[in-house]
Each structure stands twice: as C-alpha cells, then as structure tokens.
Amino acid sequence: MNDGAGNAYRSVAVVGAGVIGVSWTALFLGHGLRVTVNDPRPDVEDVVRAGLDEIAPTMRELGLPIAGAAARTEALRFEPRLAAAVAGADVVQENGPELLGVKQELWAVIEEAAPPHALLLSSSSGIPATAMAEHMREPERLLIGHSFNPPHLVPLVEIVPGRHTDPAVVERAGRFYRGLGKRPQVLTKEIPGFVANRLQAALFREAIYLVTEGVVTEQELDDIVTASIGMRWAAAGPFRTFHLGGGPGGLPAFFRHLGRALEEWWGQSGTPHLDGPTVALLNEQAQHFGGSVEELAAERDAAQIAVMRALGEIPGPAREEENERFR
Amino acid sequence: MNDGAGNAYRSVAVVGAGVIGVSWTALFLGHGLRVTVNDPRPDVEDVVRAGLDEIAPTMRELGLPIAGAAARTEALRFEPRLAAAVAGADVVQENGPELLGVKQELWAVIEEAAPPHALLLSSSSGIPATAMAEHMREPERLLIGHSFNPPHLVPLVEIVPGRHTDPAVVERAGRFYRGLGKRPQVLTKEIPGFVANRLQAALFREAIYLVTEGVVTEQELDDIVTASIGMRWAAAGPFRTFHLGGGPGGLPAFFRHLGRALEEWWGQSGTPHLDGPTVALLNEQAQHFGGSVEELAAERDAAQIAVMRALGEIPGPAREEENERFR
C-alpha cells in the first residue's frame, strides 16, 4: 500500500490479538498488507483464524476479501516473541491490555526492535500517548490510533498525539489510515476516552436513566434512537443538526429559541451509577433483543454496510464474480 | 387513509403553522388527506405554500408527491377561526406556542368544536398532556404525538399519554401514525423533553464541552459522529450496540469489562452552560460549515433519504414518470 506521499507499506505487526487486534488484522489483510500477529496466548492462531472466518463475509461485502490472504502463510504469520514480531514491520498497531505498566513495557521493547521508519500506533482507548511513552527513548514516534470498534467496519480512527509526538508522524499516520479507507480525525488535546467514547457515554448515561426510571425499555429506547437520532447523525453531526434546526437563522437562532429548553433538560439529566441492581436490570432486559449475539451482530453489520454504501463510504454491492474467487 | 382497524381518516386540522405545522401538513397531504390549516397570522397562506414548495422535492424523493395536492383547494384549506377549522376534522394535530396557558385555551376550544371521534394530538415537545388537559371536559381524549423534527422526513413519533388518556386512544394514535409510515413509540411516563430530545441533549452537552475545551472543532466533532456513532446507531441503538460490544457474553460482559471506564468518563463529563461567551464561540464556529443553511439542509436531507432507503424505511428511488406528473 502506498500512502500517496512516498511512503510504502508492506508489513504490519499486530501486537495483541483480542477482538480489536483480529479486526485490524482483517483490515490490513484486506488491503494487501502482510500481517505478523504477536500474542502470548498459546492458542492464538486458532483464535485469530476463527475470528477472521467470522469477519470474512463482512469483508467480502466491503469489497476487501480476506479468505485467500488469511490462507497464505506469507500474508499472515504468528510470532510469539515481541521483538521478532516487529523486527520487519513498517507499522506496529498495538492492542495490548489497558494497563499503563504493560503498555510502557511493550513500547520499550517495540522501540528497540522495530525499524526506525516504522509507524508506532496504539489502539488504547484510554491511556494517553504521553504517559505510554514515558520510558521511550524517542517518544516523538508514538501516538494513539484508536478505532471505533470494530476497525474493519467503522470508518472513524481517532488519532491522538502525545505531548512529544512529532507532527510529521501525525501526518503520516493520517495518510496511512486514509489509505485503508478510514476517516481519521486528529484530536488537539489528550483527554480520557477521547471524543467518540465520551459522547456515546454521555448519551448512554441518560439512556440508562430513562430505562431504570421505567420510561421506556431498552428495546424501545433503541427503536427511538434508530428512528431519529441515529439516521440523522449518520447524515449530519449534532452541531450541523442543530444549526439546521435553527432554520435560516442557523445555530444562533437555535440557541435563542431552544437554549432554555436545553438547559432545563440538562438540569434534569439522570446521573445513574452502575451499581448491582442497576446492572442487573439492564442485563435482564438485554436478554430480550430477540436473537443470539452472533445473529444480532450479523443483522447490525448488514444494516451498517447498507448505510455506508448509501452514504458513499464504500463501493456498491460486492460483485459475485469477485467473491467467487474466495469461496 | 385507513388505519387497518376500521378507522378511516379523510381530514386533518393542523393548528399552528410554524415549521412543524408545515411539515405535518406536507406529510398529511402526501398521504392523500385533506388538511385545514389554522393560524392567526395574516400571511399564513403564503408562509405555508412557500414551506410546502421547499419540502416538495423531499416529498417526491419519499414517493409522496404533494405539489398536486397543495394546488387543489379541496385538499388544502386555510381557516383562521379555530372552531371552524377543527369542526370537520378526523384528526387535530396541534403545534401552537409552547406556553401552558395558550395550550389549555386551544384545547378547550378544540374539544368543544371537533367531532367526538376526532383524534386530539399535540406536537408539544415539553408540556405534558396531563397539564395541557387540565381544563378539558374529557382529558381522556388528549395525548402527545411529538415528532422528531421534521415530521415529514424522520420516522419517530413519540406518543405520550397523559394521566387520564384512554388507552384505546393511545392505540388509535399509534395506528394513525403507522398508517403514515411513521415509527411511533409510546412512552410509559410523562417526562420533560421525552426520550429522543433528552438523549440528544445529553450528548450535545458533552459535545459543547469538547468544543469549548478546544479538543476538536464543531466540524471535526460532527465528522467524528457521522463516521462512528451516527452510522452505528442508524443500524442498531445504544443498548444493542453495547450488548454486541460485549462479544458472546453480551451486555453483562460489556459492563464487566468497560463498566469502570464508563463510570470514569461520566465522572469527568463536562457540565457547560449556555452563557454568553460559550454561545458566542459555538455560533462563530457554525459559520464555517461551508454552505448556506438551505444548501446544508438539502445535503443532509439527501443523505438521510439515502440512509432511510438503505434501511428499507422508504421504497426505492422515486420513479421519474411519477415525478413528471407534478412538474
């Protein structure tokens, strides 16, 4: 893969092969990159191959079939020794446990073993690059490349540089992710949870309040969201939505007319906590979504792919002849 | 229009012809209903016709062309006297000012003048039916039918019965809205702002915080939402999303793994207020969305229609020959 600015990418090391690591692996393979997976668990190869099999139909839909690549040993390798895994990598995408000490140890090893040109990217959803790079010799090389889950499907990647990250590296990371068809967004400040997770956490807290108050069930709340906010925010984000909600006067008119109502709702927002009874109630209702997790996930992915296709995020329907090659 | 349970609808009175009233008028006309518009402003007919002209292309896209209907005087009438406007109505959809006293006066008149079988629906986004019906002889007839804006496009209608509303009326209102292709949802409790607005207000507050903190701009935040949360919640609501985020273990596994992170983000959520400097900063950034409100609205509507079509909410592309009739 070439990023259009003279940087060629052939080989990625995926460090940590949980759900996120497997998803990144699928995305990289789908774009013709070689992937070396590093994970200490003894059954890593079985786990990753099973995960890739599960993702394969979605990748076909996205026009990025991986079945062939995953079968070729030169495209997908497993290497339990971290230093050896990253030795030939153009990119390291790290998805280790969310523990500061563990991350710091991983990056100290990676920094020594990876080639000097390698892009060093962490999937961390909460630990800032500045903290993670504290024991690195060259902290300017490290940054966060955090996908909204799962990376093989959702376009967003939040790029969060640390205090010492080199702006040129930030630029390169953006080009790399764009080359994979993603929509990276650089955050200007390190903030816990970054932007997307903080936003969904804020809405989810009010959602939990409304369910625990008995205003609606989880299923009803989900139906309300898909029939309103969801399809709206797929088309235009919250600021643009309220800007247009203000009519010809835009956002200023919106605040004049509805600012007071907003403040009022904020004042009455719920502040539930995830204590035992709350979690028990929420878990109980989730039993009634009408399908296994696998069935519901397949349903959601199909719907999301249809939405992405409608928005021009991915090309038209996968062609049969293309898919045939990998069946 | 027939609701499939023996109730036929021919005529709707739209009380209050602001943006919401005009949008309901378009939806009703698009489904072949006769509409009588009631509004005290002297230029109401010009305002409504201009609004309908603006909505017409979207209605064509939705397969519900209104240009012909809006031109026929028997399909669209204007009646400045409230009692006369509702006298022959099968349904009253009220969109008056959000002032309790005004609403109570309107409903006292409507109750006397409308036929006994008429469905009495208020678009209020904040005043509960119980309060609005306080001076009615038959409060059991009144309920909220609150659309996510604009009703001609967005599927959600929140149905909120008051304390005295007859369950049979709630059932009829649901059938009526479903007959118009909407996705009504009945709330079990009266709560200010109802569900959809409370949810979007909660997320918007955090969005304002992130922009005022300088983490991202409004444009960047909107891009983050459309590339992640938006397209995801168009396909599956927040509870289902986290249920699937938990992997095979579902929501219980999600709370075990990420409950602590959620609580942490909640603890650090911003609590901005809409004071002068905040609103000034937010308004300034909204100047840079790269288009007039009209252009951006057309863009958003086109994207949203594409999303709705992808999700099977509306039929395939409008056929040319159908549209020709009304050009």
Q: Say which of A227, A283, A311 has its CB closest to residue B156.
A: A227
Residues of chain B contacting residue A236, judged by C-beta atoms under 8 Å apart: 222, 226, 296, 299-300, 303-304
Encode pLDDT of A156-213 as tens digits. 999 999 999 999 999 999 999 999 999 999 999 999 899 999 999 999 999 999 999 9
CB A246 within 8 A of CB A254: yes
Looking at residue A253, what is its pLDDT? 94
- Who's near B219: CB < 8 A, 6+ residues apart? A239, B285, B288, B289
> Residue B145 — φ and ψ, nearest 5°?
-125, 90
Residues of chain A contacting residue B262, judged by C-beta atoms under 8 Å apart: 201, 204-205, 274
Looking at residue B317, what is its pLDDT? 63
Share of residues in chain B with pLDDT > 90 (%)? 84
Looking at residue B326, what is its pLDDT? 34
Looking at residue A22, what is its pLDDT? 96
B104 vs A247, higher pLDDT: B104
Q: What rounded mean pLDDT belongs to chain A?
A: 93
- The tokens for A135 are 């024991």
How far is B54 from B51, CA to CA, in rounded Å?
A: 5
Encode pLDDT of A205-217 as tens digits. 999 999 999 999 9
How far is A267 from B271, CA to CA, in rounded Å?
A: 10
- The tokens for A40 are 């200490």
How far is A265 from A209, CA to CA, in rounded Å?
A: 13
CB contact under 8 A, A265 and B192: yes
Cβ count near A73 (within 10 Å): 7
- The tokens for A326 are 């990998």
- In chain A the first and final C-alpha atoms are separated, in Å, by 25
Nearest to B133 by CA among B114, B110, B117: B110
In terms of Cβ atoms closer than 10 Å to its own Cβ (0-12, 13-18, 19+), residue A269 is: middle
Nearest CA in chain B to A250: B293
How far is B200 from B193, CA to CA, in rounded Å?
A: 10
Q: Say which of B188, B197, B216 has its CB closest to residue A187.
A: B216
Q: Which CATH superfamily is A11-192 part of?
A: NAD(P)-binding Rossmann-like Domain (3.40.50.720)
How far is B5 from B17, CA to CA, in rounded Å?
A: 30
Looking at residue A86, what is its pLDDT? 98
The answer to whether A238 contacts chain B (CB < 8 Å) is yes
Domain boundaries of chain B, sorted by first residue: 11-192, 195-289
Q: What single letter denotes the amino acid at residue A214?
A: G
Cβ count near B263 (within 10 Å): 14
CB A272 within 8 A of CB A212: yes
Q: Say which of A189, A196, A231 has its CB closest to residue B229.
A: A196
The answer to whether A229 contacts chain B (CB < 8 Å) is yes
Cis peptide before B150 (omega within 30 of 0): yes
CB B100 within 8 A of CB B132: yes
List B94's β-bridge partners, or say none.
B15, B122
- The tokens for A300 are 């959601």
- Comparing B11-192 with B195-289, is the CATH topology the same? no
Residues of chain A contacting residue B223, judged by C-beta atoms under 8 Å apart: 183, 185, 237
Q: Say which of A223, A234, A299 has its CB closest to residue B231.
A: A234
Residues of chain B contacting residue A158, judged by C-beta atoms under 8 Å apart: 224
Residue A287 has pLDDT above 70, yes or no: yes
Residues of chain A contacting residue B242, judged by C-beta atoms under 8 Å apart: 204
- The tokens for A186 are 């650089």
CB B178 within 8 A of CB B184: yes
Looking at residue A319, what is its pLDDT? 45
How far is A309 from A263, CA to CA, in rounded Å?
A: 37
CB A128 within 8 A of CB A160: yes
Cα dist from A228 to A39, A248, B28, B128, B325, whole Å: 42, 22, 19, 21, 31
Encode pLDDT of A119-138 as tens digits. 999 999 889 999 999 999 99
- In chain B the first and final C-alpha atoms are separated, in Å, by 25
Interface of A with B in 167-206 (CB under 8 A): 183, 185, 187-189, 191-193, 195-206
Q: By three-state DSSP, how is residue B133 classified?
A: coil
Q: Which of B61, B231, B268, B287 to mutate to test the interface with A (most CBs of A within 10 A)?
A: B231
Cβ count near B191 (within 10 Å): 19
Q: Which of A58, A149, A198, A271 to mutate to test the interface with B (most CBs of B within 10 A)?
A: A198
pLDDT band at A12 (very low <50, low <70, confident <90, very high): very high
Looking at residue B323, what is its pLDDT? 39
Nearest to A22 by CA among A191, A193, A153: A153
The answer to whether A296 contacts chain B (CB < 8 Å) is yes
> Cα angle vertex A150, ends A130, B260, to 5°?
55
Residues of chain A contacting residue B306, judged by C-beta atoms under 8 Å apart: 235, 310-311
For residue B57, the distance in angstroms to the closest alpha carbon of chain A comes to: 17
Nearest to A61 by CA among A325, A324, A326, A314: A314
Residue A318 has pLDDT above 70, yes or no: no
For residue A185, the distance in angstroms to the closest alpha carbon of chain B comes to: 7
Nearest CA in chain B to A231: B234
Q: What single letter denotes the amino acid at residue A191?
A: I
Q: Which of A228, A254, A260, A269 to mutate to test the interface with B (most CBs of B within 10 A)?
A: A228
Q: Say which of B185, B203, B293 has its CB closest to residue A244.
A: B293
Residue A320 has pLDDT above 70, yes or no: no
CB contact under 8 A, A233 and B230: yes
ipTM of the complex: 0.94
- Half-sphere exposure of residue A209: CA atoms within 13 angstroms, side-chain side: 20
Looking at residue B44, what is its pLDDT? 96
The answer to whether A309 contacts chain B (CB < 8 Å) is yes
Looking at residues B176-189, what average pLDDT do you find?
Answer: 96
Give the strand pairing for A156-161 and A183-186: parallel
Give the strand pairing for A183-186 and B11-15: unpaired
How far is B253 from B41, CA to CA, in rounded Å?
A: 57
CA-based Rg of chain A, rounded to a whole angstrom? 22
Q: Say which of A216, A239, A249 has its CB closest to residue B207.
A: A239
Residue B57 has pLDDT above 70, yes or no: yes
The DSSP secondary-structure symbol of B79 reads -
Q: What rounded mean pLDDT belongs to chain B?
A: 93
CB contact under 8 A, B226 and A237: yes
- The tokens for A75 are 């495209």
Interface of A with B in 109-128 (CB under 8 A): 125-126
Share of residues in chain A with pLDDT > 90 (%)? 84
How far is B93 from B108, CA to CA, in rounded Å?
A: 14
Encode pLDDT of A60-71 as tens digits. 999 999 988 888
- Who's near B301: CB < 8 A, 6+ residues apart? A235, B58, B61, B153
For residue B307, the distance in angstroms to the closest alpha carbon of chain A comes to: 5
The answer to whether B291 contacts chain A (CB < 8 Å) is no
The kind and range of the H/E element at A128 are none
C-alpha torsion B54→B282→A126→A190, nearest 10:
140
CB contact under 8 A, B199 and A225: yes
What b/e readout covers B8-47, taking b as 16+ CB neighbours within 10 angstroms?
ebebbbbbbbbebbbbbbbbbbbbebbbbbbbeeeebbeb
Encode pLDDT of B25-56 as tens digits. 999 999 999 999 999 999 999 999 999 999 99
How far is A230 from A303, CA to CA, in rounded Å?
A: 12
Encode pLDDT of B231-257 as tens digits. 999 999 999 999 998 888 999 999 998
- In 3-state terms chain A splits into helix, strand, coil percentages (rounded to 5) of 55, 10, 35
Which CATH number does A195-289 carry? Answer: 1.10.1040.10
Looking at residue A102, what is its pLDDT? 96
Looking at residue A71, what is its pLDDT? 85
Using left for φ > 0, alpha for ψ between -120 and 50, and beta otherwise, residue A162 falls in beta
Looking at residue B156, what is its pLDDT? 97
The kind and range of the H/E element at A273 are none
List A91's β-bridge partners, or say none.
A12, A119
Looking at residue A270, what is its pLDDT? 94
How far is B35 from B88, CA to CA, in rounded Å?
A: 10
